Structure 1
Amino acid sequence: MNKVPLTIRGAEKLRAELQKLKSEERPRVVAAIAEARAHGDLKENAEYHAAREQQGFIEGRIKEVEAKLANAQVIDVTKLNPGGKVVFGATVDLADVASGDEITYQIVGDDEADIKQGLVSVSSPIARALIGKMEGDEVLVQAPGGNREYEVLAVRYV
């Protein structure tokens, strides 16, 4: 399987979720199953069936997070020296050429993307258009709402 790029913050977030699932969620659901089992007949025991379903979800998520971490290539953008180019992990300040509006995005892995927080997936149209560009370059992005033109104001590696 190919390695999937992940920022340090993204890897830490996944590790924290995994820790919580294993140390809090899993023991809680195991206790709920034991308590529901104590109530007798399991065929008609809604609490038991709900707890078993939740246990399946938690175990599935643990496997999913472990697989993501195992296949992650954690990239520390602060240790790269891309010479001013936009690369994975870079934070980019842009100006919309038409409106003059300024926006900041960080290019992150697919699992970390959250547009509300300015985190765009490396496979998104805007990230693909930005990769390799430098401060002062203009970029044409083919967005679902039509083409948008941006000027790269600054590239930071934080």
Structure 2
Amino acid sequence: MSKVPITLHGAELLKAELHRLKTVERPSVIAAIAEARSHGDLSENAEYDAAKERQGFIEGRIAEVEGKLSNAQIIDPVSLDADGRVVFGATVELEDVDAGKTVTYQIVGDDEADLKVGKISLNSPVARTLIGKFSGDVAEVHTPGGVREYEILDVRYE
């Protein structure tokens, strides 16, 4: 399987989630299963069924996070030396040429993308268009609403 890029911050969040799942969630659900077992007949025990279902979810998520971390290519944007070029992990300040509105995005991996906090996926149309461009360039982004032009005002690695 090929490596998937992830920022250092994104990898730290996944590691923290994995730690929480293994040290808090897993022991909690094991205790809930033991408690439900102590109530007797398991065939009609809704608490037991719910705890077993929760255990399956937790174990599945642990496997998923471990898989993501094992396939991750961790990139620290601070250590990038891309000479002002837009690359994975870069924070890009853009101006919508038509609307005159300024937006700032950081280009991150699929799992980290969250438009509310200004993080867009490397695979988004905007990011794919911006990759390789420099400050001062104009990028034409093909969106479902039509073509939009963005001028790259600044490229930072933070």
Normalising by structure 1, report the TM-score. Answer: 0.99
- Please name the residue that 1:136 is paired with: 136
Partners in 2 of 1:144 and 1:24 — Cα distance? 43
Partners in 2 of 1:109 and 1:37 — Cα distance? 42
Specify the SS of the correspondent of 1:48.
helix
CA drift at 1:144: 1.5
Moved more, 101-110 or 144-153: 144-153
Specify the SS of the correspondent of 1:92.
strand
- Please name the residue that 2:117 is paired with: 117
CA drift at 1:116: 0.9
Specify the SS of the correspondent of 1:98.
coil
Partners in 2 of 1:77 and 1:93 — Cα distance? 15
Q: How does 1:8-157 map to 2 (within 5 A)?
A: 8-157=8-157
Provide the aligned length of Structure 1 versus Structure 2: 158
- Quote the sequence identity (%): 66
Partners in 2 of 1:145 and 1:26 — Cα distance? 45
Partners in 2 of 1:37 and 1:144 — Cα distance? 53
Q: 4+ runs of 1 displaced by more than 3 Å?
A: none
Q: Which residues of structure 2 form unaligned runs of 5+?
A: none
Q: Which residues of structure 1 form unaligned runs of 5+?
A: none
CA drift at 1:145: 1.7
| CA deviation map 1:117-136 (0-9, x unaligned) | 11100011000000001100
Partners in 2 of 1:145 and 1:28 — Cα distance? 47
AA partner of residue 114 (structure 2): D
Give the RMSD, CA atoms, in angstroms.
0.5
Partners in 2 of 1:153 and 1:55 — Cα distance? 49
Partners in 1 of 2:145 and 2:18 — Cα distance? 37
AA partner of residue 146 (structure 1): G
CA drift at 1:18: 0.3
